[in-house]
Amino acid sequence: MARPAPAKKLKPAEQARIAEIFDRFAALNDDPRTELEYRDPFTLVVAVALSAQATDKSVNKATERLFADAPTPEAMLALGEEGLIPYIASIGLFRTKAKNVVALSRILVERYGGEAPLNREALQALPGVGRKTASVVLNELGVEPAIAVDTHVFRVSHRLGLSTGKTPEQVEAELMGKIPQPYLTRAHHWLILHGRYTCLARRPKCGECPVADLCPSRHLFETGTAGAPASPSRRKKAASAA
Ligand code: SF4
């Protein structure tokens, strides 16, 4: 995938700040991985498709049995929608997801010899596979660096001043243009993990954050009590002082 050029050239100090953020993430976790469990490209596509609006933990719980019983597109097809539903009934939108997983398995069997195609265009043409799912798959398998912007990546990117984009596509383009090349493949995982465990939506743990001194938002979450967000008036005051 072509690396989008930054909208405007970054000042050296900003380049250094961004590089330092990712240096620190790398120092703490050099080889971040998806928390979704999978066996091969096919099961990765299925796991990521199932994970929309669901936690990785709930998907792993469902796929542990599912992938043991139906590890290939042929087996998934034989299971059929009604056979698949009991495995994934604990996951949100399971009826639609069952329909998509069986339909995409049929396409893989009929057009791709039972293998998941590893290019964006073919992946995104599969039922239930959008840009975000394709990005996760291609990045995870090392086919191309990509940053799938979910709610965690969106929030953390804004708080860290890496993006002002209003849509996931805008945020993705900005991140791809700003993050140093050596870190691009791993950036997606670092930002998700940071959002999931430290930079939480309501109560970010700024006191434990390894990049707090590089974060323009840390003042917004100054606390009077441990971990509680600052009041709206304090946030406003802190923002204008920053
Ligand atoms: S300092 Fe706070 S707001 Fe900034 S990235 Fe860290 S946890 Fe998030």
pLDDT per residue over 163-220, tens digit each? Answer: 999 999 999 999 999 999 999 999 999 999 999 999 999 999 999 999 999 999 998 8
Please check the confidence at residue 18 and state whether its pLDDT lies above 50: yes
pLDDT at 221: 81
Does 133 share its domain with 161?
no
Q: Is 150 a catalytic residue?
A: yes
Matching residue, tokens 């069952």: 98
Q: Is residue 19 included in any domain, yes or no?
A: yes
Same-domain check for residues 46 and 26: no
* Mean pLDDT across 54-77: 97
In a domain, 114, yes or no: yes
Task: Work out the pLDDT band at 238, boundaries 50, 70, 90.
Answer: very low
Ligand 1 in contact with 175 (CB < 6 A)? no
Q: Which atom of ligand 1 is nearest to the CA of 218?
A: 1
Whether 208 contacts 169, CB under 8 Å: no
The predicted model gives 70-97 an average pLDDT of 97
Domain count, the chain: 2
Q: Are residues 73 and 134 in the same domain?
A: yes
Q: Is residue 71 a part of any domain in this protein?
A: yes
Give residue 223's pLDDT: 54
Ligand 1 close to Cβ of residue 93 (< 6 A): no
Q: Which domain holds residue 59?
A: 41-140
Quickly state the pLDDT bin for 103 (edges 50, 70, 90): very high
92 and 163 co-located in one domain: no
Residue 26 resides in a domain: yes
177 and 196 assigned to the same domain: yes
Query: Do 135 and 153 lie in a common domain?
Result: no
Identify whether residues 156 and 124 lie together within a single domain: no
What is the average pLDDT value for the chain, to the nearest integer? 90
The answer on 135 and 155 residing in a single domain is no
Nearest CA to 63 among 92, 99, 91? 91
Cβ of 21 less than 6 Å from ligand 1: no
Q: Kindly give the residue spans of alpha helices, DSSP state H, lying in the chain.
A: 12-28, 41-50, 56-69, 73-88, 94-112, 120-124, 131-140, 151-159, 168-178, 184-197, 232-241
Q: Going by CA atoms, what residue is nearest to atom 2 of ligand 1?
A: 206
Could you give the 3-state DSSP secondary structure of residue 7? Answer: coil
For residues 23 and 65, state if they share a domain: no
Residue 159 CA to ligand 1 center (angstroms) comes to 7
How far away, in angstroms, is 177 Cα from ligand 1 center?
22
Please give the distance, rounded to the nearest whole angstrom, from the Cα atom of residue 76 to the centre of ligand 1: 42
Amino acid at the residue 11: K
Name the residue with the closest Cα to ligand 1, atom 8.
199
For residues 100 and 46, is the Cβ–Cβ distance under 8 A? no
In a domain, 157, yes or no: yes
Q: Which CATH number characterizes residue 89's domain?
A: 1.10.340.30
Domain for residue 230, yes or no? no
**Confidence label for 8 from pLDDT (cuts 50, 70 and 90):** low
Domain of 187: which CATH number? 1.10.1670.10
Which of 30, 57, 150, 178 is catalytic? The answer is 150
Does the Cβ of 62 fall within 6 Å of ligand 1? no
Does the pTM of the predicted model rise above 0.85?
no
Query: Per the domain annotation, does 16 fall within a domain?
Result: yes
Ligand 1 and 209: CB distance under 6 A: yes
